[in-house]
Amino acid sequence: MLDGLAEQCTQALAEYGCPSVSVAVAEQGEVVLAEAYGQADTATGRPATPGTVYGLASVTKPITATAVCLAADQGLLDLDAPPAGDHRKNPPTLRQLLCHRGGLGAHYDFHYGGGDRPIDATRYEVQYREPGTGFEYANLGYALLGRELEAVTGQDLGGFVRERVFEPLGLTRCRLGPRYPGPAPSAVRYTVDGRVCPPCDTSHPGASLGWATAGELALFAQTYHRLLKPGTAAAVLRAEPLNARLGYGLGWCVSHGGGPVVQSHGGGMGGVAAMVAAVPAQQLSVAVLTNSTRKAARDAVFHRIMAELVPGYRAELVDPAVPDPERPLELPAGSWAGTVGTPEGELPVTLRLAADGRVELRLAGRGATAPATASAAWDLRAAFALQLPTADARINSPLLSVALRREAGGLTGVACAWKAGDGDGLLGNYLSHPCRFTPC
């Protein structure tokens, strides 16, 4: 099976500057292939092996979703009820949070080093739309789900997942938390240019902080449904469309519209690029894990394996991209005054669109100019070399982008503080803020 896999993996590592890759294939509940190539630790020369544990990044989401669905089956949670707490708007249900339709905005934060997390992500749990009205990939939704699990079970999230998900499935090397405690050796995580990524914590562990070997991850993808009632397991795969070939169910991407049904999830963060998929009709699952931020080696190996093992497989069956094609900028030239809502209060901001399609943004006595574009979803989009003057943005989010649409005579949307990759330092944070403008 998979003749030439070693050569293909070795070539991908060299071509894309990735230290190592671990691959596994499971069939009918058993791992039938487990191989690893490259170095888990380049400083010591420690080789990657099938027993090496890797970070999972967003592949953690199907694991957390399984735990939530299991708790619902046990009567601890109601998937069609909102999480506990005060809600300023119509609250989302747990089911809507699981499928990223809770109305929350995009967010991620990574804390390097010990001590308390410097960013309080609960202050960014702002609804940008009515729950159920649209898809927005939201780590904060999985942060809410994790807190809800902890509240109803009385256990920390990692402990509940270990005892109620991993152990019943015989997955002894899987964990959820900011650091992998053992017993297996773990892969050192590296930036695109080969620097070591230090251990990091985040406010959304249920979205990002899983650990596994490739073999155990492949087994999880094939066996998790055994923990759930049949009706719940079927509901996991009922996915509203994201694009012509893929939808998002309860923690899983699920293909539709022709070809084999593939459930999958990818993940990426500092020093992690992971991918897992299952093909229920073949009782087959595949996991590919790497210890580099760049996803190219992961993708090359994963697509090659899937194409060889799954008749009719195409890369778009696992691609969750939501189409938002560009269109001509139709917003007239003019000036707008408004505010950006931040955890520190509302900041006054002005926006001026010139006739040549360039837009100037000014706030806190500073300004920047950038070209403006429009898309199917937004009437104006632009990214500026301008840092939002908040304590959170100053940590590791040096850029500011806006996405606005015309509503009720003005412009409303989101202003995001972010960083362009990790080529010039550690992976930054992505912080969403509501904003609104009126003509001036």
Same domain, 373 and 260: no
More confident residue, 106 or 199: 106
What's the pLDDT score for residue 88?
66
Of the candidates 320, 86, 109, the residue with the CA atom closest to the CA atom of residue 201: 109
Examine the pLDDT at 45 and tell me if it is beyond 90.
Answer: yes
Length of the chain, in residues: 440
pLDDT, one tens digit per residue, over 384-416 is 999 999 999 999 999 999 999 999 889 999 999
Q: What span, in angstroms and rounded, lies between the C-alpha atoms of 240 and 275?
A: 21
Does the global pTM surpass 0.85? yes
pLDDT, one tens digit per residue, over 354-377 is 999 999 999 999 999 999 999 999
Q: What whole-number percentage of the chain has pLDDT above 90?
A: 92
Backbone angles phi, psi at 99, to 5 degrees: -105, 20
- Give me 151's structure tokens: 């509240």
Q: What span, in angstroms and rounded, lies between the C-alpha atoms of 382 and 374?
A: 9
Which region holds residue 433: left if phi is over 0, alpha if psi is between -120 and 50, else beta?
A: beta
Same domain, 243 and 386: no
Same domain, 206 and 308: yes
Same domain, 179 and 234: yes
Same domain, 73 and 152: yes
**Number of folded domains that form the chain:** 2
Give the pLDDT band of residue 87 (cuts 50, 70, 90): low
Examine the pLDDT at 296 and tell me if it is beyond 70.
Answer: yes
What's the pLDDT score for residue 421?
80
- Give me 186's structure tokens: 């773990």
Of the candidates 348, 387, 353, 349, the residue with the CA atom closest to the CA atom of residue 373: 353
Examine the pLDDT at 328 and tell me if it is beyond 90.
Answer: yes
Query: Which residue has tokens 């943004």?
Result: 361
Same domain, 31 and 98: yes
Last residue of a domain, one of 295, 318, 341: 318
Same domain, 308 and 375: no
What's the pLDDT score for residue 218?
98
Last residue of a domain, one of 318, 348, 370: 318
CATH code of the domain containing 18 = 3.40.710.10
Give the pLDDT band of residue 257 (cuts 50, 70, 90): confident
pLDDT, one tens digit per residue, over 113-140 is 777 889 999 999 999 999 999 999 999 9
> 78 near 69, Cβ under 8 Å?
no
Buried b (16+ CB within 10 A) or exposed e, 320-348: beeeeeeeebebeeeebebbbebbeeebe
Same domain, 361 and 261: no
> 188 near 40, Cβ under 8 Å?
yes
Q: What span, in angstroms and rounded, lies between the C-alpha atoms of 277 and 217?
A: 10
Same domain, 146 and 162: yes
CATH code of the domain containing 386 = 2.40.128
Last residue of a domain, one of 262, 284, 318: 318
The whole domain housing 345 covers 326-439
pLDDT, one tens digit per residue, over 5-28 is 999 999 999 999 999 999 999 999
> 217 near 59, Cβ under 8 Å?
yes
pLDDT, one tens digit per residue, over 220-253 is 999 999 999 999 999 999 999 999 999 999 999 9
Same domain, 424 and 298: no
Q: What span, in angstroms and rounded, lies between the C-alpha atoms of 71 and 83?
A: 13
Same domain, 292 and 405: no
Same domain, 277 and 361: no
Buried b (16+ CB within 10 A) or exposed e, 107-122: bbbbbeeeeeeebebe
